[in-house]
Amino acid sequence: MIIFGTSSSTIHPAKLDGGCCPFCKTKNQMWIQGYRKYFHVFWIPFFPLWKKIYSVCSHCKGVFEKKEFKDQELTTSFEYFENNKIKIPWYHFTGIILVLLLIMLISILPFLTK
């Protein structure tokens, strides 16, 4: 029996530079956070799937998606973080790395046993 499915890991929150909350209008209190789904086999992450990134206001605790932003400064800051600061954790590729290592081992094994 092969156990597989999807799981997710959280993306650490980071404070955005500037921008104001779309709801309470508080300036400079917006944070970016989210999670990334990954595909796993026997709980070993194989490859990353989609990510969900949203913004949280530390003043009113409101949660907002990018399409809800009314503020250009906030959108710019959010996109900068989304593209530059939020990286895929390497361990999301553990399964693929293990498979590649196994293939390498199998292919060099005949040379080692000669």
Residues that bind Zn ion (CB under 5 A): 21, 23-24, 57, 59-60, 62
Which DSSP string do the residues of 50-96 spell out, in sequence order?
EEEEEEEETTT--EE-GGG---HHHHHHHHHHHHHT-PPPGGGGHHH
Tokens 């970016």 found at: 32
CB of 57 to Zn ion, least distance (A): 3
Question: At closest approach, how far in Å is the CB of 53 from Zn ion?
Answer: 18
Q: Which is nearer to Zn ion, 44 or 60 (CB)?
A: 60
Q: Report the distance separating Cα 85 and Cα 63, nearest Å.
A: 20
Nearer to Zn ion, 48 or 62 (CB): 62
Q: Which is nearer to Zn ion, 19 or 34 (CB)?
A: 19
